[in-house]
Amino acid sequence: MTPEDDKPFPEHQRMPPPPVLETERLILRPPRESDVPTVQRRFAQWEVVRYLTSEVPWPYPADGAAAHWRRMSAEIAGREKSHWAITLKGGDDELIGLIVLWADDGQSRDQRGFWLDPEFWGRGLMTEAAGRVTDYALVDLGWPRLWLTNAEVNPASHRVKEKQGAELIDRTPAKYVYGDGIRVTWRLTREAWLKRRQAPAIR
């Protein structure tokens, strides 16, 4: 444990309990312990994890989803982060991905993460989910901006930011599951988001 671990979580960074959010095709709900087997099955794929940061273990351990559930539960209870299970509207409520949001700490320049089972790629679902969470952050919570990042070699995540009107502002070395790479940092302001939101939908 480092001295940083002993510091109390800053009150100004605390998140409200994650509300249920809806889009045209999705329901984003707080994750449940019953989601653990589904997360273990859907997340433990090379296509999902390769562009995530190197903190993600690979090969993914058999108890990886259960350990992640414990972390998510603690972060939600401590109001450190808001997590949502991505589910299909009109479906069986089964999780097909996850999305997470947290307040700006003034240092990391990163405030959102997500993954989606490859079975559901190519349909604009991740753009839709990210858009609703972005709206929650910049409109409902009134944040002035969002800092966003992704591996430079991840074109799908790159496109999500571009579609939202984010500005690419930095490139820095970083370690990912696939190995050493470049982290690209984006800034999405409330003004840019509201302007893009008024434009025709892009999927």
Residue 157, domain CATH: 3.40.630.30
Mean pLDDT calculated for residue range 24-30? 98
Is 3 part of a structural domain of the chain?
no
What is the Cα–Cα distance from 138 to 147, expressed in whole angstroms?
11
pLDDT category, 122, cuts 50, 70, 90? very high
pLDDT tens digits, one per residue of 46-91: 999 999 999 999 999 999 999 999 999 999 999 999 999 999 999 9
- pTM, two decimals, is 0.93
Is 109 part of a structural domain of the chain?
yes
Mean pLDDT calculated for residue range 157-183? 96
The tally of domains found in the chain comes to 1
pLDDT tens digits, one per residue of 137-160: 999 999 999 999 999 999 999 999
pLDDT reading at 3 higher than 70: no
Mean pLDDT calculated for residue range 117-126? 97
Domain that residue 68 falls in: 9-197
Spell out the residues 6+ positions from residue 157 whose beta carbon is closer than 8 angstroms to its own: 51, 150, 151
Is 94 part of a structural domain of the chain?
yes
pLDDT score recorded for residue 136: 98
pLDDT score recorded for residue 2: 47
pLDDT reading at 5 higher than 80: no
Provide the token pair at 23: 């889009």
- The mean pLDDT of the chain is 94
Is 188 part of a structural domain of the chain?
yes
Burial 157-192 (b: 16+ CB within 10 A, else e): bbebbebbbbeeeeeeebebbbeebebbbbbbbbeb
Mean pLDDT calculated for residue range 15-40? 98
Report the candidate in 89, 97, 99 with the shortest Cα–Cα distance to residue 137. 99
Is 39 part of a structural domain of the chain?
yes
Is 101 part of a structural domain of the chain?
yes
